[in-house]
Structure 1
Amino acid sequence: MEFKFEIMTDGSARLVKAEGKDKVVSLPDVWNDHPVTAIGEYAFYEQREMTRIRLPRSMKVIGDHAFAECRFLEQIEFPKGTERIDDYAFYNCTRLARVVLPGTLTHMGYGAFRNDSDLRDIHLYTVQGMESQINTILSDTNFELTVTFHYKDGNVSQLVFTDFFYEETANEEARQFNHKTYGSGSLYRNCISSTGIDYMKYDEIFELTIHRDEPTTVMDLALKRLSYPYELASQARRFYIDYLKSMGAQVLFYMVETKRWSLFSLLTEGEPLPKEMLDAGIEFGQKNQVPEFVSMLMQYKNVHYSSMKKTFDL
């Protein structure tokens, strides 16, 4: 791929245009002894062959529409030091599934990731109280996505923001429209403000989510929240676990289908799981050839439902 650069007033270089049909692109860190710090407006516009790109380590700014309509781009990781992602920078990148954002980010432009329908996995490196950097993406999407917050103190939080949509029906007698919301996603998105994430509010929404969202979505949310229990109160933790256990064998099937059987230990607290639930899980694990999961269930079953020795009256 051929690159065209220009030198800016501060002595750094900005990529003006990229031309070619390479699938994997690596931008240079330096051009003619000038650090590459910016990608200009429309620089990669409609580069539909590109699936991956490595950005310069000195990158600071991604310009308007820089990667818009790059419909086969699968993931993007912004280097530490990136400060700005401008308006519509990744608009309509419909296959973009994973984004990694640095803690140095100070500006996220309008519609930066709008219409990126495959976007499900976002990682943000940040500090507590600064999580609102993600709000632009959340407000641009109504589909489900997972955001993993990596805090500077080493803590990690993984939150699911479920999908939602609105329906309007005309009420001719009242001469107004009635609004109905499906899904709990809008409520979860309101948990992040300019002061950070309200984790207590996030966990309180779960009871409503059980009734509004699909069981697979609810189980996924609960498992992720329990796996990364940052700011998770003991009462909320108990509620997540009780819900998962109430799903019976369905939660065991889900663990196998999503390859998360190592999380079975989350279900072992409190009262023993029903024998029928364990038997169904063992059968499902054997059918799907997951010996590790089957072994865990059998060990748990042997501890809590050991065979009773037969006794005979003489």
Structure 2
Amino acid sequence: MEPGVKSGLKDILSELRQELRVDYRLQVNGESYLAAKLIFPQFYEEAVENTPARIISSRTHGSGHFYRYSFDGKEIKFRDYDSQFHNMVLLDRETLCAEMALNRMRYPYGLSREHQEQYQEYINEHNVTAAGLALKAHDMELLKWVLSCADFSREDLERSVEAADRCGNTEGLSFLMDYRHEHFKPRRKTFEL
């Protein structure tokens, strides 16, 4: 897609309520490149009946409903898309929010400074979850990127090492142990008599 070019994405999203991952590609000089990785969370509506009052109300669950309004006509508006992240944090699972923040930071097409800071803050607060996503996917490039952009304490690294061990990612485990050794030198033990 090129800026200003209409697509059928809005029509697809209006028909589907489940979680969707979209690779937003642009063409420059005849070559296509990945500009953004977008997630449209799921949502569902529930009809709740109050029988004595004969009232039926509708409740919406999940933040996907908000993300479907991030379009102007058939063109996605990234500012509106990124503005919905606070709803996602309130309504969706932590791993999905971390994946969204990582995707928007790694592929920042149309990302404003304000929203970049919001995503960075989320990654810093949920750094172990972000590292866990990379470990489960066996994506060493992503793991290195997470370690370079997020703040990790010794305890956070310990939890990430445990996550690597749990998911059986030996390459990630050894990398994290080396990283821990480089950035957090072992404490010298002292003995007193």
Partner of 2:180: 301
Contact 2:131–2:146 under 8 Å retained in 1: no
Shift of 1:179: 1.9
- Of all paired residues, the percent bearing the same amino acid is 27
Equivalent of 1:207 in 86, 94, 100? 86
Which secondary structure state, in structure 1, belongs to the residue aligned with residue 177 of structure 2? Answer: helix
RMSD: 2.6
5+ long unaligned stretches in structure 1: 1-125
> As a proportion of its length, which structure holds more helix?
2
Contact 2:47–2:57 under 8 Å retained in 1: yes
- The CA distance in 2 between the partners of 1:257 and 1:168, in whole Å, is 37
1:113-161 CA-to-partner distances (Å, cap 9, x unmatched) read xxxxxxxxxxxxx211224421221111000111112112345111101
5+ long unaligned stretches in structure 2: none
1:11-56 CA-to-partner distances (Å, cap 9, x unmatched) read xxxxxxxxxxxxxxxxxxxxxxxxxxxxxxxxxxxxxxxxxxxxxx
From the superposition, tell whether residues 301 and 235 of structure 1 become closer, same or farther in structure 2 (CA, over 3 Å).
farther
Give the counterpart letter for 1:260 in structure 2.
Answer: D
Which secondary structure state, in structure 1, belongs to the residue aligned with residue 129 of structure 2? Answer: helix
Size of the alignment, in residue pairs?
Answer: 187
Equivalent of 1:185 in 43, 59, 64? 64
- Structure 2 residue 153 is matched with structure 1 residue 266: no
Contact 1:199–1:232 under 8 Å retained in 2: yes
- The CA distance in 2 between the partners of 1:166 and 1:268, in whole Å, is 40
Shift of 1:219: 2.2
- Give TM-score scaled by structure 2 length: 0.81
Correspondence list, 1:170-249, <5 A: 170-171=49-50, 175-194=54-73, 196-249=75-128
Equivalent of 1:141 in 4, 11, 16? 16
Structure with more contact order per residue of length (Cα contacts < 8 Å, sep ≥ 6): 2
Correspondence list, 1:43-54, <5 A: none
Q: Which of these two proteins has the greater Rg computed from alpha carbons?
A: 1
Partner of 2:156: 277
Contact 1:166–1:180 under 8 Å retained in 2: yes
